[in-house]
Structure 1
Amino acid sequence: MSENVTESRIKASVKDSGIAALITAALAFMLVGMHTKIAIGGLEIDYRWALVGIAIAVVFLGRLLLNMYVWRVQEPRTPMFRMSLLGLAIIGAGVVFYLSNGFLGTFSGVSPMAAASENHWLWIAVVLLLAAAAAIVTPILFSMAGKSRGGGGGAIGAALEPLGKWSAVLLGALAFAIPFILIAWLGSRGSRQYLDLAILVLTYIMLGWGLNIVVGLAGLLDLGYVAFYAVGAYSFALLSQYFGLGFWICLPLAGVLAACWGMVLGYPVLRLRGDYLAIVTLAFGEIIRVVLLNWYEFTGGPNGISGIPRPTLFGIEFSRGDDGFAALFGLSYSSIHRIIFLYYVILILALITNFVTMRLRRLPVGRAWEALREDEIACRSLGINTTNTKLSAFATGAMFGGLAGSFFATRQGFISPESFTFIESAVILAIVVLGGLGSQIGVVIAAVVMIGGFEFFRDLQEYRMLVFGLLMVIIMVWKPRGLISTRKPTIGLVSRKGISADMVQEGQG
């Protein structure tokens, strides 16, 4: 009987995947297969049937994998799921690799590996295999760790517990050592690209931690967080332009101004929740962007603001000459010094954001945020002032967004409204959701994967948002609450047994 059920499910899954592939073929025939490009005398059509085939194969395999996952949820003990996952990943990696590199290399007389060495499709195939291995091995390890904690054979549990305890320390030490590791490995010129990428990742980590206060801790869906990012950037740029103030003076002022705008946003949405709150915050972000775009006399409009001053180290600038950083410390001048300084500035700002967030979670205001996230009605019935709780969450999250925006302005030296579009809010929110609502380390992992990982596929800019959407679908199906979800309250009651034992001891005393 079970074999008949298994056979019918396989047939149904293949049929469903085939229908999805046919729909993809119909849509991709014109949208992907025929691409217009500029040529001599006008436009000409560039036929890309290989991409259509890749799209059909990816959709078929992805739909089949999704059906297998649903099957696994219905019958958790079915061993076929993991084998199917591994097989599909291998098939998908082979399809991607050979369609894009193997055939081309064969026809051109070059080996497939040589053809793939200058193409990122090979690395996509490797990522598919690694993802399959992680999806198969990770549940096994955690299940074994859970069994070992329950009793018998605590080797894996004993190995994983110190890793979780010291992971923050190890990651922090690695973060501080990254510039020296890169310079020792790649030299000053070769390491600059990766240091710039590390600065960008840390900026998004800081933004993710700031939004995590609003969305992850307080449970308030904010789609306009980029507005506070823009307020911080323009606050520093305008203060330096009109008043000649430096970065270190404008940094706290930008945070305070962004926090004030967070409270301005908080007042109109006190009675809103869910989708209505998301729409209002989205509108607020667009209002800020449109104002920056059209107030030409004050903000420069679409031309933006240039000549934003760089940060200094206690008044020492990173420039050539006798007054520069290199001359004062007896070093030969190199532009990498300023990049390293910017890296440590954003690293310290991100660590401050994390420290303040973790401390606030243990204070009454942090527990009020968590109570508001779980149930607003119950939170109000307990006597908690939900008005102040929401405003404090918006203001605190906006302050860290403003600090990150101020750093963004001094790092770029130029800002314009085009840097603060809705897609930035979507990316920051995706980092928080994919990493896990309320999880600090989850935000770090998601930011490294989404921002750092996508930068390595810059040549595939056309498919970046496609991969972005596919990644979100996979994570939301596999882990609906994010990679690392911490919905557990920060402070809880002790066990009943412990309370009764204490009461007995006090009674005897």
Structure 2
Amino acid sequence: MKKKQIQQFILSFVIALVIYGALMFAMSAGILDNYWSGILIMACINVVLATSLNLASGYLGQLTLGHAGFMSVGAYVSAILSIYFQMPFIVSLIVGAIAACIIGILIGIPTLRLKGDYLCIITLAFNEIIRVIMLNLNITNGAKGLMGIPMNTDFTTGFMSVAVTIYVIYSIVKSRHGRAIISIREDETASELAGIPTAYYKILAFAISAFFAGLAGGLYAHYMGMLVPKTFDYNKSVEILVMVVLGGLGNLKGSVIAAIVMTILPEYLRAFSEYRMLLYAVVLIAAMIMKEKNVMPRIKAKFAKKRHEEVSEQ
């Protein structure tokens, strides 16, 4: 690891500790009540989902609509292990994530041969297949919902999961494996001619993405205390994809910000309960228009130029 990378890692670690300490202090001091503490936990879960999907859709360039299916596998496996086998919370989370990873590999092998609209459709179909399976299994209690799940997910667990997810995905992206994945997104044919095993890297990115989706599912299950198959339908997959697209495909920081905003924003709009979803849709459309017209990059460049001028004057 280079000196610059070590410095960036230490700085990121310190910033994460400061944010965690500040939020924990706010919760313990009563500044953030239980309601907003719960919103923060959901924000952590959504960040894990968005950043993991960004690996497959943003860096690999394969738009998929099956992320909620992997989330449901992790959620149900983790919940069943906790209820029926009394496994420790962390163990059930890891096993649930591994189960989602295995399903991701099994689905990825045939589907990643496809591209574009065809890949979206086939992953959406697999999402619905997984949901229907969960709906008809006795062990999942079908449409009635799986209840009695230990509510072990707290802010600390959620925050640590976010930190691990971001660190792993960032490390992959900055490694030679990440460069191979990005090269496939840019030109798959040229990557193959350069000797890059494209099939291997596509499945690898898909499997890692599914693993963290399963982890998010386990966190969700142990936060809600119950699971209903309807939660993991195609709408959930679209919601996660919107977070990724809004934050920027191939932009890890953007995914984090978009996931947090899209989790907190609907809660602020509850004061306008009758028009909440309409306002939410308008905000999303406005954000996408700004992104399409490169408004945010221009604002960012403007601030960067101003900061450079201030440094030059000093």
TM-score with structure 1 length normalisation?
A: 0.53
What's the counterpart of residue 246 of structure 1? 88
The whole-number CA distance in structure 1 between the counterparts of 2:139 and 2:111 is: 29
Q: Tell me if 1:175 matches 2:28.
A: no
Mapping 1:64-463, distance limit 5 Å: 169-170=14-15, 172-184=17-29, 186=31, 191-295=33-137, 297-311=138-152, 342-463=154-275
The whole-number CA distance in structure 1 between the counterparts of 2:110 and 2:144 is: 32
Call closer, same or farther: CA 1:481–1:391 in 2, change over 3 Å: farther
Please state how far the C-alpha of 1:414 moved relative to its aligned partner: 0.9
The whole-number CA distance in structure 2 between the counterparts of 1:227 and 1:465 is: 24
Please state how far the C-alpha of 1:177 moved relative to its aligned partner: 1.7
Which of structures 1 and 2 has the bigger CA Rg?
Answer: 1
The whole-number CA distance in structure 2 between the counterparts of 1:482 and 1:400 is: 30
Greater shift after overlay, 274-283 or 246-255? 246-255
Please state how far the C-alpha of 1:383 moved relative to its aligned partner: 1.2
The whole-number CA distance in structure 2 between the counterparts of 1:484 and 1:171 is: 25
SS of match in other structure, 1:299: coil
Please state how far the C-alpha of 1:268 moved relative to its aligned partner: 1.7
The whole-number CA distance in structure 1 between the counterparts of 2:25 and 2:126 is: 42
SS of match in other structure, 1:457: helix
Q: Which letter maps to 2:25?
A: F
Structure 1: runs of 5+ lacking an equivalent = 1-164, 312-340, 486-509
What does the per-residue CA deviation read over 1:291-350, in whole Å, with 9 as the maximum and x for residues that have no partner? 11122x221101111111243xxxxxxxxxxxxxxxxxxxxxxxxxxxxx7101110011
TM-score with structure 2 length normalisation?
A: 0.85
The whole-number CA distance in structure 2 between the counterparts of 1:409 and 1:300 is: 14
Identity %: 38
Q: Which letter maps to 1:302?
A: A
Q: Tell me if 1:478 matches 2:284.
A: no
User: Which structure's relative contact order is higher, taking Cα pairs within 8 Å and 6+ residues apart?
Assistant: 2
Call closer, same or farther: CA 1:180–1:403 in 2, change over 3 Å: same
Does the CA contact (< 8 Å) of 1:179 and 1:195 recur in 2?
no
The whole-number CA distance in structure 2 between the counterparts of 1:290 and 1:436 is: 31
Q: Which has the higher helix share?
A: 2
What does the per-residue CA deviation read over 1:263-305, in whole Å, with 9 as the maximum and x for residues that have no partner? 111012132111111111111111111111122x221101111
Q: Which letter maps to 2:21?
A: F
The whole-number CA distance in structure 1 between the counterparts of 2:64 and 2:22 is: 34
Q: Which letter maps to 1:230?
A: S
Q: Which runs of 4+ in 1 moved over 4 A?
A: 165-169, 481-485
Please state how far the C-alpha of 1:212 moved relative to its aligned partner: 0.8
